[in-house]
Amino acid sequence: MGKKIVLLSTWCNTEEKSNALLSMLKKLKGMGLDTMVFTPFYISDEIDKYSDYTIISKENPIPEINKKYIYSWMTLPSGLELGTTTIDHGFASLLQMKRLLDFGISLEYDHYFVMIYDLGLTPELEIVLLEGRECSFFTNSNVPGEHVVCTLMAFDKNNASKFASLITPRSYFHSSSYTAETWLLEVKKILGGTIEPWPANDTIHSASDTLSKNHSKFPEFAMFIIKSNMLELFFYDIQKEFKVYIETNIAAFTEIVYREKRVVVFNNIQDFERCKITVNETSQDITNTIKMLNSTSLTQK
C-alpha cells in the first residue's frame, strides 16, 4: 500500500480554526498517517507535536481586486440583481499546495493527500486516505455545476509531481478559468484521473458572508448590504411589515418596511465605523460583515 502523507493547507487565524486543525491532526495520526502543515501563522506546541513537518511562510499572493476578482449574482423576481465582487484567493490557496507538494515529493512517500484543514472527514474519505489513490479529485456538495475542489486531492508520487508543476502564476492568471475550481477542472483534464463519488466538504465557511446575498439573521426578511462609495441596506423577501432600528457610529433612525426597500445608511462609506440593526428588540451587529465585504451592487436588469 506504500507510505502515505497528508499535506494540510491552513489559514488558522482564529481559535475555532486552530481547534479544527488540531482535531484533524489528532484524527490523522490516530489513523497512522504522517502529516505536513503549511501555515502563515504561529501554531501552538500541541499542533506542532502532531505535525511531522511544518512549513511556516507568510506568502499570500492575493491579486489587486482590479486585476482579478470573482463576481457572483442573484436575480430577484422583481428583476433586481444582487451582485457581489470578491477578492480571488485561488492562487494563494494553490501556492500553499505547491509548497507542500514540492517538499513532500522530496521525501520518501508513495501517496500524497492534499487537504484543507477543516475537511469533513467521512468514513468514505477515511478509506481513500488508508488505501491511497493514483490520481483522484473530489466535488463539494455546496458547489453547483460541474466542478472539482481543492478541499481534497489524492495522488501517487508521479501525479503529485505533475500536479505541482502545473501550479504557476501564468497557468492561473492567464487561463480562461475564473476560479480555482474551474482551473482545477482544466488541470484534471490534463492529468486524467478519477472524480471520486464522495464529496469532500469543508466545515468552516469563513467566506460565506462575503458571498451571501442575504446578510439577515432574521427569518422574517432578507437583507442585502450594498457597499460601494456609499453604504445601503436592501430589504427583500418580506414576510410581514416590520420596523427596523438602524444604529451607526454617527446616527440612529427607524424605518418601516413592508415591501422591497433600499435604505441609505452612509452617504460616504469613509464615515462608516459600526452598524447594528434591531427588530422587535432582537439585534444583529453587521459591522464585521460590512468590513469583510469588498464591493456589492444592486442593479435593475
Per-block mean pLDDT, blocks of 10 residues, the chain (301 long): 93 90 96 96 92 93 74 88 84 92 96 96 96 94 76 96 94 76 88 93 68 88 95 96 96 96 96 96 94 88 73
The answer on 214 and 147 residing in a single domain is: no
The answer on 236 and 156 residing in a single domain is: no
The answer on 217 and 182 residing in a single domain is: no
Q: Per this entry, what is the length of the chain?
A: 301
User: In whole angstroms, what is the distance from residue 82 CA to residue 9 CA?
Assistant: 32
User: In whole angstroms, what is the distance from residue 237 CA to residue 215 CA?
Assistant: 12
The answer on 168 and 70 residing in a single domain is: yes
Q: Which of 133, 163, 195 is the last residue of a domain?
A: 195
The Cα-based distances of 184 to 91, 172, 230, 276 in angstroms read: 11, 10, 36, 40
In a domain, 258, yes or no: yes
The answer on 281 and 161 residing in a single domain is: no
Question: What range defines the domain where residue 241 resides?
Answer: 208-300
Residue type, 179: T
In a domain, 226, yes or no: yes
In a domain, 40, yes or no: yes
Number of domains in the chain: 2
Torsion angle in degrees (nearest 10) through CA of 95, 98, 104, 109: 140
Q: Quick one: pLDDT at residue 163? A: 96
The answer on 102 and 47 residing in a single domain is: yes
Which CATH number characterizes residue 46's domain?
A: 3.90.550.10
In a domain, 14, yes or no: yes
In a domain, 202, yes or no: no
Q: Quick one: pLDDT at residue 142? A: 73
DSSP string for 131-182: H--SEEE---TTS-SS---TTEEEEEHHHHHHHHHH--HHHHHTSS--SHHH
Q: Quick one: pLDDT at residue 211? A: 66
Cβ atoms of 54 and 96 within 8 Å: the answer is no
Check residue 219 and report its DSSP letter: T
The answer on 222 and 161 residing in a single domain is: no
pTM > 0.75: yes or no? yes
Q: Quick one: pLDDT at residue 72? A: 82
- How far is residue 217 CA from its own chain's centroid? 20
The answer on 167 and 45 residing in a single domain is: yes
Q: Quick one: pLDDT at residue 208? A: 53
Which CATH number characterizes residue 245's domain?
A: 2.60.40
